[in-house]
Amino acid sequence: MADDLAATLSCYGFPQAKTPNLDALAKRGVLFSRAYCQFPHCNPSRSSMMSGLRPGTTKVTNNEDNLYTNIPDVLTLPHHFRNHGYATARCGKIFHLGVPSGLESMDDPKAWDFGTEFKNELPYPPKQESVVKVKTGKKQGLTWQEIPGSDDQLVDGNFAKTAIEWLGKRDKEKPFFLAVGFHRPHMPLVAPAKYFDLHPFESITLPEAPENDEADVPEPARNGAVPGYAVSSTPEQRRAAIRAYLACVSYVDAQVGRLLASIKEMGLDDNTIIIFTADHGWHLGEHGLWHKRSLFEESARVPFIMSMPGMKTGGQQSAGLIELIDVFPTLCDLSGVPAPAQLQGKSIRPQLNDTSVVVHDAAFTQARRGKDAEFWGRTIRTARWRCTEWDAGKNGIELYDHDADPHEYTNLANDPKHAEVLKELRGRLAELK
> Which of 105, 145, 101 has the alpha carbon at shortest distance from 125?
145
- Amino acid code (one letter) for 15: P
> Which of 40, 91, 43 has the alpha carbon at shortest distance from 69?
43
Local structure of 379: helix, strand or coil = strand
The answer to whether residue 277 scores a pLDDT higher than 50 is: yes
What is the per-residue pLDDT for 227?
Answer: 58
> Which of 386, 402, 405, 364 has the alpha carbon at shortest distance from 48?
364
What is the per-residue pLDDT for 117?
Answer: 80
CATH fold of 10-355: Alkaline Phosphatase, subunit A (3.40.720)
pLDDT in tens, 157-201: 999 999 999 999 999 999 999 999 999 999 888 999 999 999 999
> Which of 109, 65, 297, 5 has the alpha carbon at shortest distance from 55?
65
CB 142 within 8 A of CB 130: yes
The answer to whether residue 99 scores a pLDDT higher than 60 is: no
Averaged pLDDT, 341-358: 97
Percent of the chain with pLDDT over 70: 91
What is the per-residue pLDDT for 123?
Answer: 56
Q: Residue 102: which pLDDT band, with cuts at 50, 70 and 90?
A: very low
Report how far apart, in Å, the C-alpha atoms of 280 and of each of 40, 75, 137, 303, 338 are: 5, 22, 34, 9, 27
pTM of the model: 0.94
What is the per-residue pLDDT for 125?
Answer: 52
What is the per-residue pLDDT for 145?
Answer: 80
What is the per-residue pLDDT for 141?
Answer: 38
What is the per-residue pLDDT for 118?
Answer: 75
CB 147 within 8 A of CB 193: yes
Local structure of 322: helix, strand or coil = strand
The answer to whether residue 340 scores a pLDDT higher than 70 is: yes
Whether residue 40 is preceded by a cis peptide bond, meaning omega within 30 degrees of 0, is no
Ranges of each domain in the chain: 10-355
Q: Residue 149: which pLDDT band, with cuts at 50, 70 and 90?
A: confident
Mean pLDDT computed over every residue of the chain:
91
Averaged pLDDT, 290-304: 96
> Which of 352, 347, 358 has the alpha carbon at shortest distance from 320?
358
